[in-house]
Structures are given as structure tokens and as C-alpha cells.
Chains A and B, each alone.
Chain A
Amino acid sequence: MPALLFLLAASWPVLQAQGNGVLTVAPPSRLTIKRGATGELSVKANLQSGFHVNSNMPGDDYLIPIRLTWNKEPLEAEQVSYPKPQMEHLGFSANPVSVYTGTFEIVTRFKAPANASPGIAFMNGKLRYQACNNKECLAPRTVDVRVTLDIQ
């Protein structure tokens, strides 16, 4: 019985991930931040094996870059930092294409306004991406990202 429960619990996130496309975003950890201060938050994405997404600067105007955007409140997103991409030679392009594969993290530096209301709040964002493997491409998708804030 415990083994069965463990199997069920362990498998469920995988099953859910497959139902939601090839890229999944882990729920971000809570961000504790003081009013007037800055804090960093990492959004961890995991891409199904065999697929890639374009980096934030894919190097071809027709390719759709990955983009993490945030609402303007209650924190201000000062900077979004993308990881170093891999340069892949893909069949359709003479030049290497800048992509992410596997697990990667996008870090956002937030600033809490000095007049922010203290307490628990939420920051909502969207991660837009477009994934391909070496045979096919999937339509662009947007994943909602929600962060719990503890503003002090």
C-alpha cells in the first residue's frame, strides 16, 4: 500500500507535465523581500528530451524567442537574466541557432517599492516559448507563472 501511494505520487507530476506540453515550469519558491530592497527569483523550466526552445536571442528574425514577462505590480521587475544558450547546428539554418534544452533557469531581479503594502502578495508573469525537435515544431505557447511574495 505505501509503495502504491509512492508510485502514484511520484508519477503524477510526470503525467501532468506531459498533458501540458513539452515545457513545464516548476512552481517558484516564495520570495521574501523588504520594502525598498531588491531580491532575485529563479524560474526553473524543464523541457522534454529531444526538444529545444529558442533562446531569448535566437539570431534569426523569424524565430520566436523565449520571453519571461511580469505584471507591473506589486514588485518592479528590474532585470530578467536568461542563461547562456547552446549553439546548435540545425538542418534548416546555415548558421547555428541559439537554443535551450533540458532544464534551465531564468532569473529575475525584483525591486519592492518603498511604499509597497507589507504582507503576503502575488506576482504574476508569463513565459512564452516555442519548441521544436529536429522533425517538427509546436505552436507557440504561454505558461502562467505565479510567485508568492512576503513583503516586509
Chain B
Amino acid sequence: MTKTATALAACFVFAAAFTFAGCSKASRKAAGQGNPNLALAPEFKLQDANGQAVRLSDYRGKVVLLDFWATWCGPCKVEIPWFMDFEREFKDRGFAVLGVSMDEDGWKVIKPYMASMKMNYPVLLGNDEVSNKYGGLDSLPTTLLIDRQGRIVSKHIGITGGKDDFKNAIVELLNAPNAGAVVPAGRILARLTGPR
């Protein structure tokens, strides 16, 4: 093989590796999977539908299901009724659902949608800053389960499991022995982020 051919082959391999790495599904799986040192969920301060500022840290001490969604996202619409059920069933046990809408058109589309879906949990208006903090949010829904210590236990991109998978993971977090306990995250992560 000539030097030119070798160089071309190297370029091809590099281009292919670079391109496919950018599209890798594996890179979009749960943050911290298999890592006992779970990352803290990045802090944010966003406005709710009433214009009140809400911080993620306001929910410290609760198990939080943080759902990034949009009104134009069909799969998000499938999950929202599940999350409403979880809010009803577990809110008195130290659990909260927090929705963050990534709609560019803002409240004028979000509020009617919330009303039509009869959403029973707080929704905040997202922005580029929060998107960047959470890895770009290229795909919706992106749903995170956060433990009582504010740590990301699982990151769930798209609909990969069912309602029961979420529910079991929530119950497991709520039943964790005490606030300082290390949650068996590996089991939950494996359940929520199976093959896509």
C-alpha cells in the first residue's frame, strides 16, 4: 500500500470513528451507570406557570422525577399520564414530579397543553442554559430519577421501558433505608436503560 493510500485509509477510519462516536447510543445512556459515585443533578432556577422561581435544590430531601418534555413531543404525551399517577400515589411519601418544558413558544403553548392534559405537577419553562447543564437534551423525553440527596440515579432518554419500570424504581428509592444510604443504583439503572 502506498503512503497516499495509507493516509486515505487513516482519514477514512478517523472520519468514520468521529462521526459514529457522535451518534453513539451508548453515549446517551445513563450518566454514572455502574459508578457508585453518583453525580449531583445540576442546579437550576426556572419559572413555573405562575411566574414563581423554582430551584431544583428546593426539592432536596425528596425523590424527584425530573422530566424534560415538549408539547410537540408525542412520546412525552404517553408518559405524562404515568407521571401524574406517580404524583398522586407517592407525593405524600416524599416524592415529586417536576416537568421542564423545552417549548420555544413558551407558556402560550404550554399552559393550554397542561390544562388539556390536566397535569397535576409543576411545570417549569426550560432554556438553553438548563439544556446545556443536562447534556444538550437533543432527544425528548429525557427523564431523570433523582434521589433524596439530589443525585442522579438514572437518566432515561425516550421511552425505553414502561410505566411499571419507573414505578418500581421510584418505590425502591422511596424505600431506601435512610437519607444517607447509598441507593442500589445499578439495579435501577439497568432496569431503566435497557437495550434501545
Q: Which of A34-42, A89-97, A114-122 contacts B (4 or more CB under 8 A)?
A: A89-97
Checking A19, A97, A130, A136 against B141 with a beta-carbon cut-off of 8 angstroms, the contacting residue is A136
A135 touches B196 (CB 8 A): yes
* Minimal beta-carbon separation of B164 from chain A (angstroms): 16
A12 touches B138 (CB 8 A): no
A137 touches B8 (CB 8 A): no
Q: Is there a chain B Cβ closer than 8 Å to A4's Cβ? A: yes
Given known pairs A62-B71, A92-B77, the reply for A138 and B22 (CB within 8 Å) is no
Chain A contacts for B104, CB-based, 8 A = 140
A136 touches B16 (CB 8 A): no
Shortest Cβ distance from A91 into B: residue? B78
Chain B contacts for A132, CB-based, 8 A = 73-75
Q: Is there a chain A Cβ closer than 8 Å to B26's Cβ? A: no
Shortest Cβ distance from A63 into B: residue? B72
Shortest Cβ distance from A90 into B: residue? B74
B5 touches A11 (CB 8 A): no
B71 touches A137 (CB 8 A): no
A97 touches B72 (CB 8 A): no
Q: Count the B residues whose beta carbon is within 8 Å of the partner chain — how many?
A: 36
Q: Is there a chain B Cβ closer than 8 Å to A127's Cβ? A: no
Given known pairs A4-B9, A19-B19, A91-B78, the reply for A136 and B159 (CB within 8 Å) is yes
Given known pairs A15-B15, A18-B20, the reply for A137 and B73 (CB within 8 Å) is yes
B70 touches A1 (CB 8 A): no
B74 touches A91 (CB 8 A): yes
A130 touches B72 (CB 8 A): yes
Chain B contacts for A136, CB-based, 8 A = 75, 139-141, 157-159
Q: Is there a chain B Cβ closer than 8 Å to A107's Cβ? A: no
Chain A contacts for B109, CB-based, 8 A = 62
Please give the residue numbers on chain A whose beta carbons come within 8 Å of chain B beta carbons, in ascending order: 1, 4-5, 7-8, 11-12, 15-16, 18-19, 62-64, 90-93, 97, 130, 132-140
16 contacts between A and B (CB under 8 A): A1-B4, A1-B5, A4-B8, A5-B8, A12-B15, A15-B19, A18-B19, A19-B22, A62-B72, A90-B74, A91-B74, A93-B74, A93-B77, A136-B141, A137-B140, A139-B137
Please give the residue numbers on chain B whose beta carbons come within 8 Å of chain A beta carbons, in ascending order: 2, 4-5, 8-9, 11-12, 15-16, 19-20, 22-23, 70-78, 102, 104, 109, 113, 137-141, 157-160, 196
